[in-house]
Structure 1
């Protein structure tokens, strides 16, 4: 049994006490915070997400706030996706890259006003990156981390729960669009989004002192739909083909290699960070691609912490970046970041825990 040593480097979520009461059994670290990953019943939590409604503490999705006359300008400099037509109340998925075209984060960019944007980030310090770019470009914009902490309500019954709390206006929200409101006097942003393909919303709490209160409001409101605790579900996200930044990417991965090319607009302004490199990569063609791998093994395979090398005819051709036993497919599945010489249907072997596990490459998503 492992413990957690309190530290100023590791911040609790506003929903931390609520997840303890819900019976959280494990955490991971993400953006210098604790993120719940399990509540003691992995298969039950999976089926709750697939068939019902699940409540997640995802406060680790921190916001990088851009405020000021040049906020929109900075957002476009950071994002190799055209934001010129983005409207207030609209979010857009953006692959942020460094000057070499390497993916360094994949946030949702929320436009709250012409002079106010949030980047709802994955696990890397984009605040420092954005502040440095703003300073070197001489932009009139303040970069900060606001008191904003998302909670997710996910699953096919999530809309009914959120509409019960917030009103039927949420049913009209398009994907990644959002509205600002109050729930019991608590200021929030409600966005149709979330890291699953089962549908749902993220509720951006704008007052960290109200975390327990907001959690309990949704917990109570969701009882008719049998709401229960959960977390970003590894099995569901792999089945659904959702990329995890930092898990399925490394220090050399570009967006084209991991199915994010459709979110890159090559005609954005020339001063967009990384766009020159991304244009070269697009012209030459990426060297790797992201495919699915279904292993032959009938029993669950545990891949360990690191990527597992993939071989074809004895030659290393890529890596298995994740692996999970699918409750719906009843097979071991994962993502292969693999040489473009490989194709769907090819037979390959992944070396996992010292054993060669044969399987076949397939398209994504699995389901």
Structure 2
């Protein structure tokens, strides 16, 4: 097996050795790190997530730590959702926009203390963005990437596994809420969250030297439930209607176009980055919307994460931003980002793999 030389441009996670032991067959570079994306049996990985419990290395989801007297002020300036009622121990899914009102990330904001927050995100460009805005506004904060690496435990049996390790108190955690925990001297935070709709938790490892230890503890606890490795499943996330920032968005996408309008509070102060632009967008009218699509072709096909043109009555109306074979629907499904004159039930054509394919537009989520 070829070796990977860790460096600052491409790091391995604290769970790297554990994923090798699990038989990982493919990685993808993400956020200057290697993310496991396959263990060689996609159907088994999907089945574990849907019917049992799956263990994911998602440490590529780095944290932007904001601390200091003006931390709460800065976090609100960066967030187009009102965070004034967020309390310690609570997380909130939060769109972040630039000055144009364009979506630049959608982290979960974790409030650790009145002056201490994590932005739990996929892309670390937000750390540079936060530093720039803090300097521009003259705010007293420190902004760093802490030694924090999430592991996800997902699936209908995930709660039983996590409760077996840490106690039944985890069953009382509300969605996006979190609490401190420790096992065998390993410090972590446990949050009810994860990039699936099958239920589960994210365990925020706070000692990068204990990755294999934590992995093996969870693995052992899950043996009776059929636990196995996996990764954020592209098919399940499409079936569940979960947005992928950067996958389903482009450099002009605003939150209203991708079903995030309910997380935008236009009454926030104009000091919040993006609010003036979002007010104008709302007043002028949103031009695109995100819908589902079902292709007529009902034979298994490889999925895709590149954009394909969508036509209605011969006119280009937008793009299909993702696609995959749905075991539950037994056909190819995906998302489209299309002009507002495309409506539910419309027949369209997708220029996919240089072949026109007939399809029907539908609502999201599929399930």
Residue matched to 1:46:
46
Offset of residue 267 of structure 1 = 1.0
Q: Distance in 1 between matches of 2:86 and 2:298?
A: 47
Change in CA separation of 1:88 and 1:304 when aligned onto 2, cut-off 3 Å: closer
Q: Which consecutive residues of structure 2, in runs of 5 or more, have no partner in the other structure?
A: none
Residue matched to 2:178:
178
Q: Is the aligned partner of 1:288 residue 2:288?
A: yes
- Paired residues for 1:345-364 under 5 Å: 345-364=345-364
Offset of residue 2 of structure 1 = 8.8
- 8 Å contact 1:123–1:246 — kept in the other structure? no
Offset of residue 275 of structure 1 = 0.5
Residue matched to 1:79:
79
SS at match of 2:268: coil
Q: Distance in 2 between matches of 1:352 and 1:78?
A: 37
Q: Alpha-carbon deviations, 1:91-121, whole Å to 9, x = none?
A: 0000010000000011000000001000001
- 8 Å contact 2:80–2:268 — kept in the other structure? yes
Q: Distance in 1 between matches of 2:304 and 2:171?
A: 41
Q: Alpha-carbon deviations, 1:163-183, whole Å to 9, x = none?
A: 111111110000000001211
Moved over 3 A (4+): 1-7, 301-305
Q: Alpha-carbon deviations, 1:150-195, whole Å to 9, x = none?
A: 0000000000011111111110000000001211111100000000
Q: Which consecutive residues of structure 1, in runs of 5 or more, have no partner in the other structure?
A: none
Q: Distance in 1 between matches of 2:157 and 2:274?
A: 40
Residue matched to 1:217:
217
Q: Is the aligned partner of 1:229 residue 2:205?
A: no
Q: Alpha-carbon deviations, 1:73-93, whole Å to 9, x = none?
A: 000000011011100000000
Offset of residue 240 of structure 1 = 0.2
SS at match of 2:12: coil
TM-score by length of structure 1 reads 0.98
- 8 Å contact 2:188–2:206 — kept in the other structure? yes
Q: Distance in 2 between matches of 1:340 and 1:303?
A: 26
- Paired residues for 1:248-263 under 5 Å: 248-263=248-263
Residue matched to 2:69:
69
Offset of residue 298 of structure 1 = 1.5
Offset of residue 281 of structure 1 = 1.2
Q: Distance in 2 between matches of 1:311 and 1:5?
A: 45
Q: Distance in 1 between matches of 2:115 and 2:223?
A: 39
Offset of residue 124 of structure 1 = 4.5
SS at match of 1:321: strand
- 8 Å contact 1:153–1:202 — kept in the other structure? yes
Q: Is the aligned partner of 1:265 residue 2:265?
A: yes
Offset of residue 200 of structure 1 = 0.2
Residue matched to 1:161:
161
Offset of residue 5 of structure 1 = 6.2
Residue matched to 1:25:
25
Q: Distance in 1 between matches of 2:362 and 2:204?
A: 36
Q: Distance in 2 between matches of 1:117 and 1:88?
A: 9
Q: Alpha-carbon deviations, 1:268-287, whole Å to 9, x = none?
A: 12100011011111222211
Q: Is the aligned partner of 1:366 residue 2:366?
A: yes
Q: Is the aligned partner of 1:90 residue 2:90?
A: yes
Offset of residue 7 of structure 1 = 3.9
SS at match of 1:44: helix
Residue matched to 2:57:
57
- Give the CA RMSD over aligned residues: 1.3
Offset of residue 249 of structure 1 = 0.5
Residue matched to 2:130:
130
SS at match of 1:72: helix
